[in-house]
Amino acid sequence: MNPGLPTLEAGLPTAEALVPMGIGFILVAARLTALFLAMPIFSGATVSGQIRAAVIVVVSAAIYLSLPAPEHLPTDMLGLVLALLGELFVGFAAGFSARIVFSAVETAGQLLDMPMGLGFANAVDPVSNSTQTVTSRLLGIMVALMFLVMDVHLVLLRMVADSFLVLPPGEAFIVPEVGMSLVSQSALIFEGAVQLAAPVLLVLLATLAALGLLSKVAPQVNLFALSFAISIALGLVALRAALPDMTAWLRNVVGNIEPMALEAMSHFGA
């Protein structure tokens, strides 16, 4: 139990103490809920809602009981709503950086699948609850494994837990600087997608250009029937050759999730 809360002689909290305790716990749970809903993998269909809710409740209780008694808790409905929005925005800002990296990888896969001729082969991704192409799914699995192996999910959880020491429950408010920071970080979706797909994409574009010139030189050859097989074969070979560099790029960008999240949360004062 948090220190400083009034109790009965029997040791049970009074009704006056239960209200701030409940409000403080709700605010802590709101920040963690936004983190889990924004963080990849844990927000997908692969993790059931019951398990996610149980983890949030247990972790929120552990964090709340380890914190000193909150000094500035909202007492009216408007203040409580604004405080909840602020808590949700803090958790969302921490998890959104990881979401940006995953989106960049998925976009890179979609850029590769269209010239490879695999754009028509879609599969349902249970992690993002969306339909993805084959290469996008492959790269998504790679970045998800790195995300878990490098314990980035634990880093984000620890970061949000530590933020309560600097930004206690009820003292987080939405500030425009955070929105601008998240928008600027979103440029990684397009910039990172092009960087990741560039080696294979250049090979595929050169292949398409060569096939186009060949169709002009020898129009009697039915290149339309051969273009799919040639594009897929050369694309897979180029993808296999570029996998070591892609893996190094993914490791680097996954490692940058923590400083990106810290940069976004720094505008809150955390």
Element (H, E) at 17: helix 15-38
**Section 57-75 average pLDDT:** 82
Whole-number percent of the chain with pLDDT over 70:
83
CA 85 to chain centre: 19
Q: Which pLDDT does position 6 carry in this prediction?
A: 46
pLDDT at 7 over 50: no
- Reading the block at residue 254, the tokens are 């996954």
Q: How many Cα atoms occupy the beta-carbon half-sphere of 216 within 13 Å?
A: 5
Q: How far is 220 from 211, CA to CA, in rounded Å? A: 13
pLDDT at 269 over 60: no
Q: Which pLDDT does position 17 carry in this prediction?
A: 63
Q: Which pLDDT does position 122 carry in this prediction?
A: 62
Neighbours of 21 (CB within 10 A): 19
Beta strands in 17-159 (DSSP E): 122-125, 130-133
Q: Are 61 and 25 in contact (CB under 8 A)?
A: yes
**Section 172-192 average pLDDT:** 79
Identify the band that residue 124 occupies on the pLDDT scale cut at 50, 70 and 90: low
Please indicate whether residue 224 or residue 136 has the higher confidence score (pLDDT).
136
- Reading the block at residue 149, the tokens are 């192996």
Q: Which pLDDT does position 121 carry in this prediction?
A: 62
